[in-house]
Chains A and B, each alone.
Chain A
Amino acid sequence: MESITVTFKLNGKTTAVAIEPLESLRTVLREHLHLHATKAGCGQGGCGSCTVLVNGEPVLSCLMLAALADGQEITTLEGIGTPQHMHPLQAAFFDRFAAQCGYCSPGMIMAAKALLDKNPHPNRAEIAEALAGNLCRCTGYVTILDAIEDVVTQMQEA
């Protein structure tokens, strides 16, 4: 088998791409589609920096066969905001200095988005549980939790 074509909805747009059978979704996003927000960290499921949403649920794109993305809806960080029109989570990470080197931020934000889409009013412990698979070497996590709590508060006030 040479290459196979998979078709999925990527950030709202139908996308077809030719892949090698065993490529991970992460490789396809970064190397075929040149979307680099999704990070290539450990490749072992251990760091969470490659977290994307599949049908709204967080998954680790390094451990997902890209072939299984066929027919699914994939959301990456690029799909939720732009520098001009940031997603509230992106804006809050910026305001709270929740990104230092920034390597973990896309995964953190996607994991947080998955949580808030399901449970708009999580407490701090629930936020921490939702981020249990995402490692950060820089911030000590406090600013990240603060940023997400800010968004929860904004949504309560809105």
Chain B
Amino acid sequence: MNADLFIPRSLDEALSVVQTHGAGLLVMGGGTMMMAHINEGIFFPQKVMSLARAGLSGVYRNGHTQIGATTHLAEVSQIADYPILAEAAYQIGGPAIRNMGTIGGNLYMPQPAGDLAVPLLVYDAHVELASPSGSRTVSLEDFLAEPRSHRGVHELLVAVHLPNPSGHTAYLKLGRREANTPSVVAVGVRIVMDRQGLVNEARIALGASGPFAFRAKNAEAALIGQSLNTKSIADTAQIAMEESNPFTDALATAWYRRRMVGVFVKRTLEQLTK
């Protein structure tokens, strides 16, 4: 296995590796998925770059919150002011996976993995990307919808940006067992109420319920101006089910996933009434 390994010490160095070798380069954040593929012989990369030493890790606060791309899931699980992001990170893998996997890598994972996208959509996250020719910041929603491949890199995810949180949130992940298991479905919600107790702002994000994690916008719209009650919750769950576009894999059928979207949207919203 002859290959070139690059371990850049800064973002600038990493970008110059991208510029020179981008076409045939494989990038690793924590490598939890990439190493598994290399071990399995799915990939025989000639050129690999690990971002582990590129100085892209850490949580910074400066009017808003910025989480570096290589921040480990273990550290993300400690970010107390974004409780459902911390919760979702804690529910990934076991302690060792959380010490290795990164938030940036998580956002490139194909469904049903990529659990952090659900709470991050709920918090209106943006992602900052850098390429040798410049940088761009896009909403996570748009980023997730972009086509991608593991091979050939032209830009790097540098950081995730989060506005200050408002409202009440809940997150639930359904797995086949209690821990260390991929999502059958994952649901995150955030509701901001007005003084009359009516929903002013709603976010409902679904994971493992489509080709990528997404906001169920019809379901969100249905909640605006309503109080959270048995009927409004049931109606919203029904709309979210209709909006989902799940898949069948070894964990669950599309049929089951769609029903669980309904059940888990209902349960997350019910948590907010308590």
- From 98 to 119 in chain A, residues with beta carbon under 8 angstroms from any chain B beta carbon are 111, 114-115
A4 touches B5 (CB 8 A): yes
CA distance A48 to B100 in the complex (A): 13
- Asked if A29 is at the interface of the complex by the 8 Å CB criterion, the answer is no
- Asked if A134 is at the interface of the complex by the 8 Å CB criterion, the answer is yes
How extensive is the interface on chain B, given as a class?
A: 20 to 34
Given contacts A48-B94, A63-B35, A68-B50, contact A22 B99 (CB under 8 A): no
Given contacts A68-B7, A132-B180, A133-B180, contact A58 B93 (CB under 8 A): no
- Asked if B67 is at the interface of the complex by the 8 Å CB criterion, the answer is no
* Cβ contacts A30-65/B at 8 Å (1 or 0 each): 000000000000011100100100100111101111
Shortest Cβ gap from A22 to chain B (Å) = 5
A24 touches B96 (CB 8 A): no
B95 touches A132 (CB 8 A): yes
B100 touches A132 (CB 8 A): no
Instruction: List the B residue with the shortest CB-CB distance to A25.
Output: B35
CA distance A43 to B37 in the complex (A): 9
B99 touches A58 (CB 8 A): yes
B36 touches A45 (CB 8 A): yes
- Asked if B38 is at the interface of the complex by the 8 Å CB criterion, the answer is yes
* Cβ contacts B20-60/A at 8 Å (1 or 0 each): 00000000101110011011100001001010110000000
Interface size for A (C-beta < 8 A) is 33
- Asked if A21 is at the interface of the complex by the 8 Å CB criterion, the answer is yes
CA distance A54 to B3 in the complex (A): 25
The listed residue with most B CB atoms (<10 A of its CB), out of A44, A54, A114, is A44
Given contacts A43-B40, A64-B31, contact A130 B95 (CB under 8 A): yes
- Asked if A1 is at the interface of the complex by the 8 Å CB criterion, the answer is yes
- Asked if A28 is at the interface of the complex by the 8 Å CB criterion, the answer is no
Given contacts A24-B39, A64-B31, A133-B180, contact A1 B4 (CB under 8 A): yes
CA distance A86 to B171 in the complex (A): 43
Contacts of B32 in A (CB 8 A): 45, 60, 63
Given contacts A59-B96, A60-B100, A67-B5, contact A129 B179 (CB under 8 A): yes
Contacts of A60 in B (CB 8 A): 32, 96-97, 100
The listed residue with most A CB atoms (<10 A of its CB), out of B3, B48, B52, B99, is B99
- Asked if A147 is at the interface of the complex by the 8 Å CB criterion, the answer is no
- Asked if B80 is at the interface of the complex by the 8 Å CB criterion, the answer is no
B95 touches A111 (CB 8 A): yes
- Asked if B250 is at the interface of the complex by the 8 Å CB criterion, the answer is no
A21 touches B94 (CB 8 A): no
8 smallest CB-CB distances across A and B, nearest first, come from A133-B94, A21-B5, A43-B39, A132-B94, A132-B179, A63-B35, A58-B96, A44-B36
Given contacts A63-B32, A115-B95, A132-B180, 16 further A-B contacts (CB under 8 A): A21-B48, A24-B35, A45-B36, A45-B97, A51-B96, A63-B36, A63-B100, A64-B100, A65-B5, A65-B28, A65-B50, A68-B50, A68-B52, A111-B96, A133-B93, A133-B94
What are 27 sample pairs from A and B whose C-beta atoms fall under 8 A apart? Answer: A4-B5, A20-B2, A21-B1, A21-B2, A22-B38, A45-B32, A45-B36, A51-B96, A54-B99, A58-B95, A59-B96, A59-B100, A60-B96, A60-B100, A62-B36, A62-B39, A63-B39, A64-B35, A65-B35, A65-B50, A67-B50, A68-B53, A111-B94, A130-B94, A132-B95, A132-B180, A133-B95
